């Protein structure tokens, strides 16, 4: 840990590549993706849900190359903005395998989605239902629509990433979901095919998913009873937790699939409803575990009686999760072996604020020195995708490694990239 084998001299390898070679060739900070890890997680989910559909949630991490991996592994893609859609289209992702999400999609975004023929649009408000109906009429198309339902489930996770409790912005509460379905059914240019529920992210126990599944089935029943339509699809979102720390115990995709399938099947059979086709939208679970961020140590500052501050060449611009959610990570010296005693450390970035931490508490060898490389594990989800240019720091490059070979898949930003936005000469 972090994932990857160690060479005899103690250097970490990812996908068979020595991290020192990666740093030399591509610079640091550097996001490194183990392509085989990503692909095998796609396959694992696809196998577990072989009687349903798996859509990778691109918000976890998306670029053209990754969209191609997802496409080639036969998964669908969940996008939630025009930008994510543009990346998918550049990758020639089949539009019919794309689901378009978002609580405030613009008219331009909806128009583009309809023009290219995305497979599903998840509606999130009354305004959007009317807007979509109007656009579909204008364009002469009939999109498949899912209604996003908030099931009132309190997911056991950080407040910012829970999405189904009552007091938040997404979807339709149970009381209004039926009215939403009524409105979609009332617009002949829209084809209501199912309901959607996503309860939150980085969740380890199945209770919340189970309760949400039961509640959406109740709604399917209510919709059948009112409109006489039996909706063929049920999308239960993503949110499955991954291991950031050594003790974390993630759910197994097969276990998730068996559980959800069992609950939906039983609940439907009880009510005499045909069992809908299930969809899940894992993001973090697919891209997270196989990603590692490499940094170079710049300064090592021991604070007497407190701890040692280890500054690296990135920080909250390439991983804001620690500052934003109090997220915890594991990191280790990656470029050599050390038998020195461990020292209580805090790995911090180069940004101008003291909340700029990559790893809040960790033990690093006491002979750590400038020029050493450190690797942070499980940074493949919501790190590059949440990256920002705070302090005008350019975003790091992304490299994919596989079978002992490394390939640049997103180049490092340069100061010229930042200056390109300036309109003053």
Which positions make up the binding site for substrate? 284, 321, 325, 353, 382
- If the CB atoms of residues 128 and 296 are measured against ligand LLP, the closer one turns out to be 128
Q: Which is nearer to ligand LLP, 101 or 215 (CB)?
A: 101
> How many DSSP H helices and E strands does the chain contain?
12, 20
Contact 283, 46 (CB under 8 A): no
Shortest Cβ 414–ligand LLP spacing (Å): 26
- DSSP reduced 3-state for 153: coil
Degrees to nearest 5, angle at CA 48 with 43 and 52: 100
Q: How far is the CB of 375 from ligand LLP (least distance, A)?
A: 19
- Angle of the 64-72 helix axis to the 82-90 helix axis, nearest 10: 70
d(CA 67, CA 73): 10
Residue among 189 and 235 whose Cβ is closer to ligand LLP: 235
Nearer to ligand LLP, 157 or 178 (CB): 157
What tokens were used for 289? 């575990």
Of 13 and 99, which CB lies nearer to ligand LLP in the complex structure?
A: 99
Output 39 or 227, the one with its CB closest to ligand LLP.
Answer: 39
Peptide bond into 2 cis (omega under 30): yes
Nearest approach, Cβ of 2 to ligand LLP (angstroms)? 18
3-state secondary structure of 241: coil
In the block, residue with structure tokens 């690296």: 312
Annotated binding site for pyridoxal 5'-phosphate: 239, 281-284, 382
Q: What is the DSSP string of 253-279?
A: HHHHHHHHHHHHHHHHHHHT-PPPEEE
Minimum distance between the CB of residue 360 and ligand LLP, rounded to whole angstroms? 16
Minimum distance of ligand LLP from residue 59's CB (angstroms): 6
For 169-216, the DSSP string reads: SSSEEHHHHHHHHHHHHT-TT-EEEEEE---BSSB--SHHHHHHHHHH
Within 13 A of 376's CA, how many CA atoms are on the CB side?
35
How does DSSP classify residue 240? Answer: B
Residues that bind ligand LLP (CB under 6 A): 57, 59-60, 78, 101, 161, 198, 201-202, 237-240, 281-285, 321, 325, 381-382, 386
Is the preceding peptide bond at 197 cis, omega within 30 degrees of 0? no
- Residues 274 and 300: their CA atoms lie apart, in Å, by 62
Residue with tokens 């020639």: 92
Residue positions annotated with a catalytic role: 352
**Smallest Cα–Cα separation from 373: which of 293, 291, 294, 290?**
294
CB of 273 to ligand LLP, least distance (A): 24
């Amino acid at each position: 840990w972090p994932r990857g084998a160690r060479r005899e001299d103690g250097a970490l390898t990812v996908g068979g590549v020595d991290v020192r070679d990666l740093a030399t060739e591509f610079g640091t900070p550097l996001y490194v993706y183990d392509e085989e890890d990503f692909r095998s997680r796609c396959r694992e989910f696809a196998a577990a849900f072989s009687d349903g559909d798996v859509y990778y949630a691109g918000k976890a991490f998306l670029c053209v190359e990754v969209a191609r991996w997802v496409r080639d592994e036969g998964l669908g893609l969940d996008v939630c903005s025009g930008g994510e859609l543009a990346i998918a289209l550049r990758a020639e992702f089949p539009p019919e395998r794309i689901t378009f999400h978002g609580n405030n999609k613009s008219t331009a975004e909806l128009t583009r989605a309809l023009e290219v023929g995305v497979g599903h649009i998840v509606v999130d408000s009354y305004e959007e239902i009317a807007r979509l109906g109007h656009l579909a009429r204008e364009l002469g198309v009939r999109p498949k629509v899912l209604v996003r339902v908030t099931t009132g489930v309190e997911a056991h996770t950080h407040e910012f990433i829970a999405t189904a409790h009552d007091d938040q912005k997404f979807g339709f509460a149970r009381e209004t979901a039926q009215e939403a379905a009524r409105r979609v059914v009332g617009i002949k240019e829209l084809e209501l095919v199912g309901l959607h529920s996503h309860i939150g992210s980085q969740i380890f126990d199945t209770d919340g998913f189970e309760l949400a599944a039961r509640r959406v089935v109740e709604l399917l029943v209510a919709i059948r009873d009112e409109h006489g339509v039996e909706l063929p699809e049920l999308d239960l979102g993503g949110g499955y937790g991954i291991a950031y720390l050594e003790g974390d115990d993630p759910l197994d995709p097969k276990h998730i699939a068996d559980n959800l399938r069992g609950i939906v099947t039983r609940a439907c059979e009880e009510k005499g409803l045909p069992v809908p086709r299930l969809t899940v939208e894992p993001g973090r679970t697919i891209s997270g575990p196989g990603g590692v961020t490499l940094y170079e140590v710049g300064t090592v500052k021991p604070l007497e009686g407190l701890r040692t501050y280890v500054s690296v060449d990135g920080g909250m611009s390439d991983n804001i999760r620690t500052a934003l959610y109090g997220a915890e990570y594991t990191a280790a010296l990656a470029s050599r072996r050390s038998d020195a005693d461990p020292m209580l450390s805090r790995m911090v970035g180069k940004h101008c604020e003291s909340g700029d931490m990559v790893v809040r508490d960790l033990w690093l060898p006491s002979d750590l020195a400038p020029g050493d490389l450190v690797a942070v594990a499980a940074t493949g989800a919501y790190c590059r995708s949440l990256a920002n240019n705070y302090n005008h720091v350019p975003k790091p490059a992304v490299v994919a490694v596989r079978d002992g070979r490394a390939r640049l898949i997103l180049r490092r930003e340069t100061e010229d990239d930042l200056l390109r936005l300036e309109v003053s000469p």
